[in-house]
Structure 1
Amino acid sequence: MIALEDKDWGQYIRSGYRIFFGSGAACPQKLIQRFLDNSQQFNDIELTHILTLGETPWTDEKYKDHLRVNSFFLGPGTRDAVSRGDGDYTPCFLSEIPSLMEDKIHPIDVAFIQVTPPDEYGFCSFGVSVDVVSVACRTARYVIAEINPRMPKTLGQSFIHVSKIDAFMEVNYPIMGHGIAKLDEVTLKIGKYCAMLIEDGSTLQMGIGKIPDAVLSYLGDRSDLGIHTEMFSDGLLDLYKNGNITNAKKAINRFKTVTSFCFGSEALYDFVHDNPHVEFHPSEYTNRPAIIAQNPKVISINSAIQIDLSGQVVADSIGDRFYSGIGGQVDFIRGAGMSLGGKPIIALPSTAKGGEISRIVAVLSQGSGVVTSRGDVHYVVTEYGIATLRGRSIRERALELIQVAHPKFRDELLAQVREHYWVPPYHQSMPKSLAELKTTKMKISGRHYNLRALQSSDQRRLQEFFYSHTEKTLMNRYRAVPKNMPTDSAYRLVNIDQSRDAAICLVQRQGPREIIRGVGRFYMENEERAEISFVVGDDLQGEGLGSVLMKTLIKIATERKIKILVAYVINTNYAMQHLLEKFNFSHEESGDASEFVYVLELNAK
């Protein structure tokens, strides 16, 4: 290893070479600038990298006669270069970029990297970015390094011996940071819904930004979380300090956090420095779906620019303009999908451009490319809730996704779906939302449930619930024993106007499947009086589900200033009579001896 001098550039670089730049916060900015100052002596140099932090002076038009960038992931500078035709974008799964270099499909001639000073044995650490830097150094003709004492020493497969470094320059400047974004109301809602899908013992893959930070902020009551991720950010630090992350339930790299790169605050860099609990590995390991899938309950949370009603995800382009890159989204979506109990999640705000356009669309924008296929997407989360797509038909997917779209776009989306005959003619409009109730996770008699509004996409779930009832339950609910619940009838029951009437349910999740366990509703008889009714699954009657539904409906009715709730109960339905009396309904005489009438006065003054 020798000190780099400007007269030596020709010793390492020739016209037509491909030069790799180190990634993220470890991008060797001063080394690159020094090269740029001497770049006029070379022609047709290709510069390649994944995402880098900071300025990208190499994309300046003044270098275009000598240099051309070809990036695997676009940021502001490279995005502009590609848009004006002065640069290229190569789409590739992050897990497969190393093989492009190893197989000489994308050979590297020179690698520019940033490392720590060597230890007593001559090993330098790649620091905060191992990702594809490791393979670039392994396959390059020459490696030229910035040696920066401020670079954190990270552990794992994170070292290069000085004998593998051909030239170096010493620098001393802070590692590029990444600010922590302020969490807004929409982002917090998305984070809360995502957190509802995360159980104790889950293995997390989180990116950087507002949505991952919002999700992590709701995990303070989880235990034995594990981390296997491509990147590590500040949002995880509090969970470490509070003991939520132990990595004890992981199947591989047990008791270790596994990552490939990190960027964030100085506190984050201090945390990963020489930390035996955190291991940095190359992308061909961290991002390989078969490796990811070995851990149980892998939670992969990624974002999107746009998603259509069949579940296709656009993540690297806006129309025909390339915006970012494929990155590790598909790697982790597939790894989580193969994991036992895993959950691949796409999380995004429902709108863009200040609410002017919907991110959930019937048809993708012209020129947009699909990064994640409809077959890979299991869950989509917006600030309006969770859409469950795995195992659902195109019609069911469309209704699930419309339900989590912004309300002002829902009828338009349904009308567009009807043009493609994805839904039957009786799907005329999307009902208004139940504003008084957001999805709430709760525990009743030792079992976990989600309490939420009944919605259009529950049509099949309601039919399954109906067919699970005994004749006794059907008689108690309907005062008869109906033999079937046709699809159009089920649709009318779930597609009510929730701004006037109300229909709520308690559901249990079995992986991506939601099972309705109890339904409560009221219908307005007139402007002051509503009829209330309930049905709970046969195997759960007497466990408190009816009380939860009753309490919630009374609260909604009170907020709406409804004056009277009335229930009509068959005289042999003792459980319902007991429930109504528990909530202070009074018993009134009925003209029918087989039926009792119960009345509750609300908002009485």
Structure 2
Amino acid sequence: MAVVLPPKPVWNQLIKSGCRVFVGGNASVPYALIQDLIDHSAGISDLELVHMLALGDTRWAQEKYRQLFKVNTFFIGGEVVRKAVDEGRADYTPVFLSEISSLFSDGTLPLDAVLVNVSPPDEYGYCSLGASVDICMSAVRHANTVIAQVNDCVPRTSGHSYIHISEINACIQANEPLVEVPPPPIDTITERIGQYVAMLVEDGSTLQFGIGKIPSATLKYLMHHKDLGVHSEMLTDSIIEIIESGAITNRKKTFHPGKIVTSFAIGSQRLYDYIDNNPHIEFYPSSYVNKPTNIAKNDKMVAINSALEVDLTGQVVADSLGYDFYSGIGGQVDFVSGASISKGGKPIIALPSTARNETVSRIKPCITEGAGVVTSRGNVHYVVTEYGIASLRGKSIRERAMELIRVAHPKFRSQLLSEVRKNYWVPHYQEKYPTDIPELGAIQLQKLVIQGETYYLRPLNPADERRLQEFFYSHTKETLRLRYNYDPKQMSREKSCNLVSVDQRSDAALCIVRQEGSRLTIHAVGRFYFNPDDNSCEAAFVTRENQQGKGMAKLLLSRLIEIARKRKMRRMLAYVRAENKPMIAIFENANFKRMAGSDPSEVELELKLEDAQ
């Protein structure tokens, strides 16, 4: 039996002046339906138009329609809507994406009507909301009147995306392609951010990511991971390549295993074709997908979100530039909260270190006047820039400040340290700001697999103050005597601070660490001190007792030699107690030669670096 479509809308019978009308958004705005309303709006005025992000021609927010429409958006997007908000002709309502539906259901924002874009009905009379289920489904369920644009271009998506034709009061038939947003080009800064974020993702993790360069770059570097899953408020074109690479299988998901779970899609026509009738990708309302307790049902949930700025305590600004509202809260807090309570979860904020052609630091001593905190300092576990990963969970304000200064752009680090010292967030003896080792290249973090366990090699930095102190107190008296040539009794925070505050452009200090979530342990440290008088350096290293014999010292020494050679130093020296035969063997295996010394209890060794230039 043929399915009969509802009649065309008679607008002045369906909608009255002063009504609140919801409009489906993202890439699936029913433009023809809105234009039909505009064309037949005689006698109608003061409609409150409520919507999420609306891509494309948001004509209803233009100045000429101010008597017909007053826009109330939950997420600011596009020049026309942003201009209307800036000029006070439109409103922005901040709310978590997971909670927008409750505004409709509990009568806080009761809906008189809803305008949505749907696929043609199937043989059973069911239409799909396609690429934009998000809050559209909730709006349909709680609006007095449902008016639809039946559109052949709307994909039929799996999951909870269907409404029956009997639920639609009126409709028009108009075929309009969904708005396309092509994948953004990835620049070198974004590439480095993506590499760092990918280092935080373990095999078997479930991912959430948004739109833009950083998620695209991150997914590029996850192609060789195994058994990843997806539980994300949105999908973009980048998802196609990583699915086809075999990295996403959804097998290890602990919530909706075997399925990608999402609520809307924004991308190219290729993506809209990919989700059409795809049983492996299921669309659900945002109230379900973004519910933090549902997100947390995924073990190893990794939430990757962006920000406009982050202050040195970890507060995240994501919806405003000073007093100017720029976007919206969206689902950031939902997923940060869900990932933080997930077993093995990791909430990540990723952003470039600067803005406006490197003239402004996005890492700030305090948030810009007028800006609002979207994600609190208590929620954030990791902040990633192109200069590395700042781990904040469990860190004091002092440690957070030093971690975040470390991942700020180098030209702003000194200024940031000066600013936080004014408020005593760091002690008076913290005089040096973090520096990078240029010879390590753009990525200052190297993943190591040693005897089946994962470690990381990186520069020692001021944020390691407490960790180095713990490392010192883990040593036996014998290790301390062999390393320092005496039995030191104390490693004060001030002394530890001095040891980790290294100017890596002249001296060099490397460490090998084990990081499990936010738990970080230093297992080995190697360093050299530069002597400008004769263009030489003195090397030393120490390894945690339970890690000795695994080659960590050998690895650190080889890296230090590489750095010294690149700096064109003449020679590297080492002074080792005569009974420390394992240490002497490491140096001699690296071609160090013994020199005649005056102290028989100490062996002096030399490597002529120029010989192998």
TM-score higher than 0.5: yes
Alpha-carbon distance in structure 2 between the residues aligned to 1:432 and 1:537: 25
CA-based RMSD of the aligned residues comes to: 1.1
Match of 1:56 in 2: 58
Match of 1:600 in 2: 607
* 1:522-581 CA-partner distances (Å, limit 9, x unpaired): 001234110001111110101011121111111101100011001101111111111111
Match of 1:459 in 2: 465
How do 1:446-485 and structure 2 match up within 5 A? Answer: 446-485=452-491
| Contact 2:405/2:434, CA 8 A, preserved across alignment | no
Match of 1:174 in 2: 177
Alpha-carbon distance in structure 1 between the residues aligned to 2:176 and 2:317: 37
How do 1:170-209 and structure 2 match up within 5 A? Answer: 170-209=173-212
1:270 deviation in Å?
1.6
Match of 2:43 in 1: 41
Match of 2:365 in 1: 362
How do 1:361-400 and structure 2 match up within 5 A? Answer: 361-400=364-403
1:38 deviation in Å?
2.5
1:512 aligns with 2:512: no
1:471 deviation in Å?
1.4
Amino acid at match of 1:299: V
Amino acid at match of 1:9: W
* 1:278-324 CA-partner distances (Å, limit 9, x unpaired): 10000010000000001100000101111111111110000011000
| Contact 1:40/1:66, CA 8 A, preserved across alignment | no
Amino acid at match of 2:426: V
Match of 1:441 in 2: 447
Amino acid at match of 2:488: P
Amino acid at match of 1:58: W
1:556 aligns with 2:563: yes
Amino acid at match of 1:507: V
Q: Which one of 211, 215, 219 corresponds to residue 212 of structure 1?
A: 215
Match of 1:566 in 2: 573
Amino acid at match of 1:513: R
* 1:9-68 CA-partner distances (Å, limit 9, x unpaired): 011100110111112111111111221223342121100100111111011001112210
Alpha-carbon distance in structure 1 between the residues aligned to 2:333 and 2:550: 42
The 3-state SS of whatever aligns with 1:258 is strand
Deviation larger for 194-203 or 571-580: 571-580
Alpha-carbon distance in structure 2 between the residues aligned to 1:39 and 1:375: 49
Match of 1:292 in 2: 295
Deviation larger for 399-408 or 434-443: 434-443
Alpha-carbon distance in structure 2 between the residues aligned to 1:252 and 1:515: 32
Alpha-carbon distance in structure 2 between the residues aligned to 1:132 and 1:432: 46
Match of 2:23 in 1: 21
Match of 2:283 in 1: 280
The 3-state SS of whatever aligns with 1:370 is coil
Amino acid at match of 1:517: H
| Contact 1:23/1:129, CA 8 A, preserved across alignment | yes
1:325 deviation in Å?
0.3
Alpha-carbon distance in structure 1 between the residues aligned to 2:37 and 2:228: 44
Alpha-carbon distance in structure 1 between the residues aligned to 2:485 and 2:7: 89
Match of 1:101 in 2: 104
1:603 deviation in Å?
2.3
Deviation larger for 85-94 or 527-536: 527-536
Q: Which one of 484, 491, 500 corresponds to residue 497 of structure 2?
A: 491
1:84 aligns with 2:91: no
Alpha-carbon distance in structure 2 between the residues aligned to 1:403 and 1:277: 41
The 3-state SS of whatever aligns with 1:212 is helix
1:429 deviation in Å?
3.1
1:237 aligns with 2:243: no
* Percent identity of paired positions between Structure 1 and Structure 2: 50
1:407 aligns with 2:410: yes
Q: Which runs of 5 or more structure 2 residues have no equivalent in the other structure?
A: none
Q: Which runs of 5 or more structure 1 residues have no equivalent in the other structure?
A: none
Amino acid at match of 1:55: D
The 3-state SS of whatever aligns with 2:436 is coil
| Contact 1:381/1:404, CA 8 A, preserved across alignment | yes
Q: Which one of 341, 345, 368 corresponds to residue 344 of structure 2?
A: 341
Q: Which one of 250, 258, 261 corresponds to residue 258 of structure 1?
A: 261
1:590 aligns with 2:597: yes
Match of 1:538 in 2: 545
The 3-state SS of whatever aligns with 2:377 is coil
| Contact 1:2/1:166, CA 8 A, preserved across alignment | no
Alpha-carbon distance in structure 2 between the residues aligned to 1:63 and 1:2: 30
Alpha-carbon distance in structure 2 between the residues aligned to 1:40 and 1:84: 26
Count the aligned residue pairs. Answer: 604
The 3-state SS of whatever aligns with 1:39 is coil
1:122 aligns with 2:125: yes
1:352 deviation in Å?
0.5
Amino acid at match of 2:526: G
Match of 1:156 in 2: 159
| Contact 1:199/1:222, CA 8 A, preserved across alignment | yes
The 3-state SS of whatever aligns with 1:145 is strand
Deviation larger for 402-411 or 329-338: 402-411
Alpha-carbon distance in structure 2 between the residues aligned to 1:4 and 1:573: 91
The 3-state SS of whatever aligns with 2:411 is helix
Alpha-carbon distance in structure 2 between the residues aligned to 1:569 and 1:66: 84
Alpha-carbon distance in structure 1 between the residues aligned to 2:466 and 2:219: 33
After TM superposition, what 4+ stretches of structure 1 lie above 3 angstroms from structure 2?
1-6
Alpha-carbon distance in structure 1 between the residues aligned to 2:328 and 2:316: 13
1:4 deviation in Å?
5.0
| Contact 2:23/2:115, CA 8 A, preserved across alignment | yes
Deviation larger for 350-359 or 442-451: 442-451
| Contact 1:445/1:544, CA 8 A, preserved across alignment | no
The 3-state SS of whatever aligns with 2:99 is helix
| Contact 1:204/1:299, CA 8 A, preserved across alignment | yes
Amino acid at match of 2:51: H
Alpha-carbon distance in structure 2 between the residues aligned to 1:518 and 1:577: 17
* 1:187-226 CA-partner distances (Å, limit 9, x unpaired): 0010001011000000000111100001001011210101
Match of 1:70 in 2: 72
Amino acid at match of 1:445: Q
The 3-state SS of whatever aligns with 1:603 is helix
Change beyond 3 A, Cα 1:431–1:223: closer
Amino acid at match of 1:292: I
Match of 2:531 in 1: 525
The 3-state SS of whatever aligns with 1:141 is strand
1:5 deviation in Å?
4.1
Alpha-carbon distance in structure 2 between the residues aligned to 1:102 and 1:9: 24
Alpha-carbon distance in structure 2 between the residues aligned to 1:202 and 1:126: 29
TM-score, normalised on structure 1?
A: 0.98
Alpha-carbon distance in structure 2 between the residues aligned to 1:426 and 1:252: 49
Alpha-carbon distance in structure 1 between the residues aligned to 2:560 and 2:23: 60
Alpha-carbon distance in structure 1 between the residues aligned to 2:135 and 2:330: 12
Q: Which one of 426, 446, 456 corresponds to residue 423 of structure 1?
A: 426
1:2 deviation in Å?
5.1
